[in-house]
Structure 1
Amino acid sequence: MTEFTSTQIQLAARPHGWPTADDFRTVEVVHGDLEPGQVRVRNEFVSVDPYMRGRMNDTRSYVAPYAIGGTITGGAVGRVVESAAPEVPVGAVVLHQHGWTDTVQADAATFRVLPEIPGMPLSLHLHVLGMTGLTAYVGLTTIAGLREGDTVFVSGAAGAVGTAVGQIAKLLGAKRVIGSAGSAEKVKLLTEKYGYDAAFNYKDGDVRGQLAAAAPEGIDVYFDNVGGDHLEAALAAFNDGGRAALCGAIAMYNTTDRVPGPDNLANIITRGLTLKGFTLASYLHVAPEFQEKMTPWFSGGKIAYDETIVDGIENTVDAFLDMMRGANTGKMLVRV
């Protein structure tokens, strides 16, 4: 066993509005020898995700905010390079939540050993085969109660969750799937690669009007990653008995002023709508069901995916900031 130094990205200040590079700092942390029950892991991929922006605010949420001076935690996948825990041997591929660091040393219980499938990139465990895919599945099934023949609208459809939602919805029997995205290129990708029946560029304006044109018979399910004018558009387009899975509200993550709510909330009453917010931590029990469905879908070539990969742990903040501005297609990752 030997000492080693890890490079970690910490929160230096709470962002006001859009985060900047000055809100973070890169530090070198020296670690001593392994204690019994610990492992040392060299990360291969680190995840950057929209929810992390919310944790940078010191507000009540479903999880504690990041601490000033603390390392940004989140999903990462790596390989064990030293071990003092027989159940997690050297060479094992592990998934964990220790976040933005090139190497991590911690109790073996904080890592989950993953199967290593020849030819399958380890990065997939951080999105379509992992929490991202599970989020999409839970939102559609457990939260929104997707039924065969439903018409589904997905906001932020070209992101990691959105691309999974569209495909899973069709595989579960949705009649029509409609998505919004932030560029003409992403709109084309949704219809040509991800099986969306229709898509539109929300930057063209009038989200309500564009959704009405894309869904002339209305929508039955809304998977919300955006909030704001997209939620308002969905409320206008819902058929009676419509259901919404509220997963994210990226349109409001970086605002500094109070954001007005939709002007058509009365539709919830008159159309008998159900809107339910969720976070994945409360639905991890659905994971075995998801894996039972996703494994044959993926091995059967029925699941497409995109990755936007930035190289180098020192570029993690840039990757995060680019992701927040929509520069990614599919899942944004840092390759360590």
Structure 2
Amino acid sequence: MEVTNNYIVIKSHINGSPKESDFETKSEILALSVDLGSNEIIVKNLYVSIDPYQINRMKSKSSSQKASSFAVAVVVGQVIDAYGVGKVLASANPEFEKGDLVVGLITWGEYSVLKGDYMLRKLDPLGFPLSYQVGILGFSGLTAYAGFFEVCKPKKGEKVFVSAASGSVGNLVGQYAKLFGCHVVGCAGSKEKVAFLKEKLGFDDAFNYKEETDLKATLTKYFPDGIDIYFDNVGAEMLEAAVANMKISGRVAVCGVMAEYTDAGKRAAPDMLDVVYKRITIRGFLAADHYNVYEDFISTTVDHLQTGSIQAIEDISTGVDSIPKAFIGLFHGDNIGKKIVKIADE
């Protein structure tokens, strides 16, 4: 049997803000068969994760490309791998059978042909929608959980600031922090998102950073006694303002630098005297560093989902052709929650 596989590629390296003309849809005829003993597997893609870090893979050069196997450069004109959920259609790997649901690195396409070494495992939906495996029960959830509990080492009652708080990771950090017993303030880029954080997710407070002309003064207003924990998703001026308002022994978990990904002129320059004399810890991390807490993360998060004490916030588009627009929208703040593209029904 043969199918037509439509998939997304970049037409050239992207060194600024991405636009739809940077991408194109390619097609190929794909035979749904594998050579025995080849370890090859063919997957029908169902959901793919849309993540801002991918822009660094699409640049002609980025320090991240050599620092992590998850961030290697995307080859112009070649299929783009991404985290997602799929269904096995053919397998020469004895660990997988036709019909298995799987999660791991698949592609921005309708089908994935995986060869050699690949990151894939069978999944148990645990009674939740398959999309949860891409977001709250996937890398976004693990990033939030490990970043908050392992990197930040919170104590009950501490004051927590979360930037990009309505995004895929930020919204979960805020929810975990509230459940743990912290005072949580988030920032986002619209009045709608601010209301969402306070009214839907239970943040103690939130503000629209686009309406603020002095971020340091703004944070002083929301944290008159200082910030214990800053979960940083944006970098640049927001990191500078947070450091200026940190308490002694404050902790900063650097998850991403969204403000710097598409603007080479923006770079964070925190006051290093504050870092030294307040004994502030600033630590970058990746979710892959913290597989040791994966079981705790899953059991805790599943319990919270089952009791309704935590919410999975998803923003889902449909169809392979919607991937470029969904990706570009991340850099304009179009999404609330985890951005996902649904490729097909199971």
* TM surpasses 0.5: yes
Q: Which shows bigger deviation, 155-164 or 78-87? A: 78-87
**Preserved CA contact (<8 Å) 2:44 2:86:** yes
Deviations 1:68-108 (Å, cap 9, x if unpaired)? 22222111112223334443222221112122011112249
One-letter amino acid of the structure 1 residue matched with residue 335 of structure 2: N
For these two proteins, the number of residue pairs brought into alignment is 332
Q: Hey, what does 1:308 align to over in structure 2?
A: 315
**SS of aligned partner of 2:81:** coil
Q: Hey, what does 1:113 align to over in structure 2?
A: 122
One-letter amino acid of the structure 2 residue matched with residue 180 of structure 1: C
One-letter amino acid of the structure 2 residue matched with residue 254 of structure 1: T
Q: Hey, what does 1:59 align to over in structure 2?
A: 62
* 2:224 corresponds to 1:216: yes
**SS of aligned partner of 1:79:** strand
Identity %: 36
**SS of aligned partner of 1:310:** strand
List aligned pairs for 1:103-252, cutoff 5 A. Answer: 103-107=111-115, 110-118=119-127, 120-174=128-182, 176-205=183-212, 206-252=214-260
Deviations 1:13-65 (Å, cap 9, x if unpaired)? 11131111222221113334212233322111111111111111222212322
Q: Hey, what does 2:104 align to over in structure 1?
A: 96
Q: Hey, what does 1:45 align to over in structure 2?
A: 47
Q: Distance in 2 between matches of 1:90 and 1:302?
A: 36
**1:147 Cα offset (Å):** 1.6
One-letter amino acid of the structure 2 residue matched with residue 255 of structure 1: D
**Preserved CA contact (<8 Å) 1:47 1:333:** yes
Q: Distance in 2 between matches of 1:185 and 1:110?
A: 38
Scaled by the length of structure 2, the TM-score of the pair is 0.91
**Preserved CA contact (<8 Å) 1:47 1:99:** no
Q: Which shows bigger deviation, 218-227 or 164-173? A: 164-173
Deviations 1:129-149 (Å, cap 9, x if unpaired)? 111110011111211111222
Q: Which shows bigger deviation, 309-318 or 24-33? A: 24-33
Out of 290, 293, 298, which is 1:283 matched to? Answer: 290
One-letter amino acid of the structure 2 residue matched with residue 19 of structure 1: P
Q: Distance in 1 between matches of 2:200 and 2:218?
A: 21
Q: Distance in 1 between matches of 2:97 and 2:105?
A: 19
One-letter amino acid of the structure 2 residue matched with residue 24 of structure 1: F
Q: Hey, what does 1:27 align to over in structure 2?
A: 26
* 2:4 corresponds to 1:5: yes
Backbone CA RMSD of aligned residues: 1.7
Q: Distance in 2 between matches of 1:303 and 1:53?
A: 30
Instruction: Structure 1: give runs of 5+ residues left out of the alignment.
Output: none
List aligned pairs for 1:251-262, cutoff 5 A. Answer: 251-257=259-265, 259-262=266-269
Q: Distance in 2 between matches of 1:99 and 1:169?
A: 33
**1:195 Cα offset (Å):** 1.8
Q: Distance in 1 between matches of 2:148 and 2:270?
A: 25
**1:263 Cα offset (Å):** 5.2
Q: Distance in 2 between matches of 1:28 and 1:323?
A: 25
Distance 1:73 1:141, change over 3 A: same
Out of 295, 306, 309, which is 1:299 matched to? Answer: 306
Q: Distance in 2 between matches of 1:328 and 1:218?
A: 30
**SS of aligned partner of 1:328:** coil
Q: Distance in 2 between matches of 1:114 and 1:23?
A: 34
**SS of aligned partner of 2:107:** coil
**Preserved CA contact (<8 Å) 1:163 1:305:** no
Q: Distance in 1 between matches of 2:287 and 2:204?
A: 27
